[in-house]
Amino acid sequence: MKLSKELNDILVEQVRRELESAQVYNGMRIYFKDANYPGAEQWMTVQIFEEVLHAEDFINFIQEIGGELPSIGAIAETKCEYDSMLDVFEHGLEHEFYISDSIKACLEQAIEDKNYAAENFLRGYIDEQLEEEDHFRTQVETLREIGDNKSALYKYDEYLGTRSGNLTSPNGAVFAFYTGPQGGEE
C-alpha cells in the first residue's frame, strides 16, 4: 500500500514532533535536576526515551511502507526553566494535547487515503495519547492538591522515581538497554 505525498509528509512531520517532544521533556528533566527532584528527573528520563521510541516507530513504519524520509525538520529552541514541578507537568499536559491533535490529523489523512495499514498503525497512537494525557493529568491534579506542602511534595517526588524503564512502543519497537539512574523496577 503506497503512501500518498500528503500522508508521507504528515508522518515525517510527526517524526519531528516526537523528537521535539523528547527535547521538550529533556528541558524539563534539566529543570528537575537543577531543582533537586531526583524522582521527577527519573520519571522525565523515561519519558524522553519513550518519545524517541515513538519517533523510531514512525521512521520504521514510513520505511516499511515504502515512504520517503529525505530529512527531518528542525527542532525548536527548548525551555529549561520552570517555576515548579506543577508548572512542568502543566506544560507537559499542554504538549501532549498538541501531540494528540497532530496524531488525529495523521489518522484523518490515512482515512481519507483509505490507507488501512497507516490507519491501523495510527490507531495505536490514539490509544497511546490517551495514556499520555492521563499520566500528565494525574500529576497535575495531584500536585495541585499537594500545593505548597513541602513534605508531601518530596514524598511524591520519591513516588515518581519508581517509574520503570521498560519501554515498548505501541507498534512494537523496543529499547532494551535502558537502565535508569535509580535502577527503576521492571
The residues binding Fe ion (CB under 5 A) are 18, 51, 54, 132
Amino acid at 128: E
Least gap, CB of 168 to Fe ion (angstroms): 13
Q: Which is nearer to Fe ion, 51 or 90 (CB)?
A: 51
Least gap, CB of 51 to Fe ion (angstroms): 5
Strand partners, 174: 168
Whether the Cβ atoms of residue 17 and residue 99 lie closer than 8 Å to each other: yes
What is residue 168's DSSP assignment?
E
Q: Which is nearer to Fe ion, 4 or 102 (CB)?
A: 102
- List C-alpha distances in Å: 107 to 11, 95, 182: 10, 19, 37
User: 115: helix, coil or strand?
Assistant: coil
Question: How remote is the C-alpha of 104 from its chain's centroid?
Answer: 15
Q: Which is nearer to Fe ion, 18 or 157 (CB)?
A: 18
Least gap, CB of 167 to Fe ion (angstroms): 12
Least gap, CB of 135 to Fe ion (angstroms): 9
In the bound state, the residue with its beta carbon closest to Fe ion is: 54
Q: How far apart are CA 13 and CA 149, in angstroms?
A: 41
Contacts of 105 (CB under 8 A, 6+ apart): 10
Least gap, CB of 152 to Fe ion (angstroms): 26
Q: Which is nearer to Fe ion, 32 or 153 (CB)?
A: 32
Whether the Cβ atoms of residue 93 and residue 129 lie closer than 8 Å to each other: no
Q: Which is nearer to Fe ion, 51 or 56 (CB)?
A: 51
172's grid cell? 512494537
